[in-house]
Amino acid sequence: MKGIEEDQSFEQILSDVRTVVSEQKLRDAKLNGLLSDEDVINRKLESTKCYQDTVNKLNEIVNQSNADIIDSLQKENCLIRYLEKENKVLQDLYEDQELALAVIIKKYEEHKSKLQLLSSRLFNHFQNMCSETIIDRNFKMKEMMEVMKNASTMDDVDLTFKIKCLHAENQHLRNILNINTCSQIGESEANE
């Protein structure tokens, strides 16, 4: 019997726990609903405050005197006219700057093309001068080689001629010496 009573009391406890849990879930759901309702009410209050602030501002504006409104409109109109004039001046300056920049770019392009043309001409002129100088130097070197060759040939001819002359002169001197030697030998033999 004790086991049955324990089972029943355990089942009773489980049933009570389930009931308490269900009731707690219901309470949580109600609490969440109340919190959600509170949030909605707070938003409505906030929008009502904003609406009230707007209405108050409009009332202040309406309550302003016409002179104040006209005065503020005139000030705004003066400011708008000033800004329009300044805008016009700035627009004119901008257009002037664009025109000046266009002229500068055009001049730059003209100078650039002139410089390129001059550079090309100068390069061609320099190249022609170098070619002419090289040709002139080659011609002068050939002339110098011809002159040196001729001088060398003439030196060879002169040298050969001088050698022949010296050889002939030596031969002549030998003959003279021979004659003198012979006559001296004859005299010395006669003296003995």
The DSSP result for 50-95, as a single string, is HHHHHHHHHHHHHHS-HHHHHHHHHHHHHHHHHHHHHHHHHHHHHH
Spatial separation of the C-alpha atoms in residues 187 and 101, rounded to whole Å: 122
49 half-sphere exposure, CB direction, 13 A CA radius: 6
Spatial separation of the C-alpha atoms in residues 46 and 143, rounded to whole Å: 114
Is 31 domain-assigned? yes
Is 84 domain-assigned? no
Whole domain around residue 19: which residue ranges? 1-62
Is 28 domain-assigned? yes
The alpha carbon dihedral of 123, 128, 132, 137 has a sign of positive
User: Average pLDDT by consecutive 10-residue portion of the chain (192 residues)?
Assistant: 66 88 90 88 90 85 71 88 92 91 91 89 84 84 82 70 85 80 58 57
Spatial separation of the C-alpha atoms in residues 108 and 101, rounded to whole Å: 10
Three-state DSSP at 192 gives coil
Spatial separation of the C-alpha atoms in residues 31 and 25, rounded to whole Å: 10
Contacts of 61 (CB under 8 A, 6+ apart): 69
Is 89 domain-assigned? no
Q: Whole-prediction pTM value?
A: 0.33
Residue 2's pLDDT is: 56
Is 186 domain-assigned? no
With vertex at residue 71, the alpha carbon angle to CA 60 and CA 87, rounded to the nearest 5 degrees, is 115
Total domains in the chain come to 1
Spatial separation of the C-alpha atoms in residues 147 and 128, rounded to whole Å: 28
Displacement of CA 192 from its chain's centroid (Å) = 117
The secondary structure of 87-107, three-state, reads HHHHHHHHHHHHHHHHHHHHH
Is 100 domain-assigned? no
Element (H, E) at 152: helix 66-191
